[in-house]
Amino acid sequence: MTTPHDASWPAAEAEPAPAALTPADVADAARLVSFGLQAKLLPARDAEYAELVRRHREDPAFARLADAVATGLNLVVLEVSARAGMALAAAEESVFAVRMGDYSRRAASETTDRFLHGLAHLAVAAMAFPRPEDLADEGYLGRITVNGVDAFVRQACRRLEEQAELTGDNTDPSSDAPGLEAAWRVWARRSTTGATKDARRLSGSTIGITGKAVAFLVDSGFLQKASDDAGGTYRTTARYQLQVRDLAGSAAMAELIDLGVVPVTDGSATLLPADHSDELVADAGLPFHSL
């Protein structure tokens, strides 16, 4: 009688040991992260980048190594794919973090203007991806215009003013009021464009603020310019879709969406009054899909 330990028992084939990672592998992983930090670069435009993305998707050991390099730099890997490349988000403590406060201090000298820049960014995100399914659909391309974003925020201001009047609270909001309730009066009082002596729009106007916010998103690889129509028409990128997924659960985003955003195909938007929404949309003569 034989036992598993007898010499006559067929020896089980040993699984090959995983190949040891080399310094060259570490260099490739770091190279992939460096590509991911170049916000406007896509794998389709760089053969080396495309190859490293393919390797990340097909080689689990290399993927773990590249993800570890990103983690060591306080970066969060949102996705690695042919469409988005290595999409990264910087944690607050990362040296690569571009904090909204830093951006707004560069874009505006007054605290109030910094707050309005944040509102402009929120409105762009809400208009670009107004429905949950838009964020889930990898083939979806959002479209916004600078003028449309400003018009949308102003209509949100009117809606909030109406709500304040109905509740008898049409005074300056308290410090613990919701973000949008505290913001609408500031945006509504600000000039849409203003003008300098040579007819340029003022940087502190709401169109100027929106334009700066959109330019920042273009520089960050989140939007791509399509035309100069309506103050500038832009389409979203896969990287922006991934970023907005993280933003979608925020309280401020929920406040804005709850007002009843109805995007239309030209990159503008409107807010539907609860009592005569069909009439308003018909008057606009524009196709729409509601939330």
The model's pLDDT over 48-70, given as tens digits with 9 standing for 90+, comes to 999 999 999 999 999 999 999 99
Q: What are phi and psi of 145, to 5 degrees?
A: -125, 155
| Residue 274: per-residue pLDDT | 37
| Residue 236: per-residue pLDDT | 94
| pLDDT, tens only, 141-175 | 999 999 999 998 888 888 877 777 777 665 554 44
Segment among 3-12, 74-83, 130-139, 173-182 with least mean pLDDT: 173-182
| pLDDT, tens only, 240-252 | 998 888 766 565 5
Separation of first and last alpha carbons in the chain: 74
* Partners of residue 101 on adjacent β-strands: none
Query: Can you read off the two tokens belonging to residue 289?
Result: 């899909």
Query: Can you read off the two tokens belonging to residue 216?
Result: 């920042």
| pLDDT, tens only, 93-119 | 777 776 555 665 666 555 567 778 878
With CA atoms as reference, report the closest residue to 156 among 255, 285, 287: 255
| Residue 22: per-residue pLDDT | 92
| Residue 24: per-residue pLDDT | 95
Where along the chain do its domains lie?
Answer: 23-90, 100-284
Query: Can you read off the two tokens belonging to residue 20?
Result: 């040891």
pLDDT over threshold 60, residue 2 = no
Q: For the whole model, what pTM was predicted?
A: 0.68
* Cα distances (angstroms) measured from residue 32 to each of 53, 73, 81, 88, 243: 7, 13, 12, 11, 19
pLDDT over threshold 50, residue 266 = no
Could you tell me if 238 and 138 are in contact, meaning their C-beta atoms sit under 8 angstroms apart? yes
Question: Measured between alpha carbons, how far is 207 from 231 in angstroms, rounded to an integer?
Answer: 8
* Cα distances (angstroms) measured from residue 167 to each of 12, 164, 171, 176, 254: 79, 5, 11, 17, 21
User: For the range 176-183, what are the long-range contacts, defined as Cβ-Cβ under 8 Å and sequence gap of 24 or more?
Assistant: 178/251, 178/255, 179/251, 179/252, 179/255, 180/119, 180/156, 180/252, 180/255, 180/256, 180/259, 183/115, 183/116, 183/119
| pLDDT, tens only, 122-140 | 889 888 988 888 888 888 9
Which H helix or E strand runs over 261?
strand 261-263
pLDDT over threshold 50, residue 291 = no
* Cα distances (angstroms) measured from residue 112 to each of 108, 116, 117, 206: 9, 6, 9, 12
* Partners of residue 143 on adjacent β-strands: 235
Q: What are phi and psi of 32, to 5 degrees?
A: -60, -45
Could you tell me if 239 and 84 are in contact, meaning their C-beta atoms sit under 8 angstroms apart? yes
Cβ neighbors of 222 (< 8 A, separation 6 or more) are 39, 236, 237, 239, 240, 243
| Residue 164: per-residue pLDDT | 73
pLDDT over threshold 50, residue 36 = yes
| pLDDT, tens only, 178-233 | 455 556 778 888 888 765 554 455 777 889 889 989 998 998 889 999 999 999 99
Q: Is 289 left (phi over 0), alpha (psi -120 to 50) or beta?
A: beta
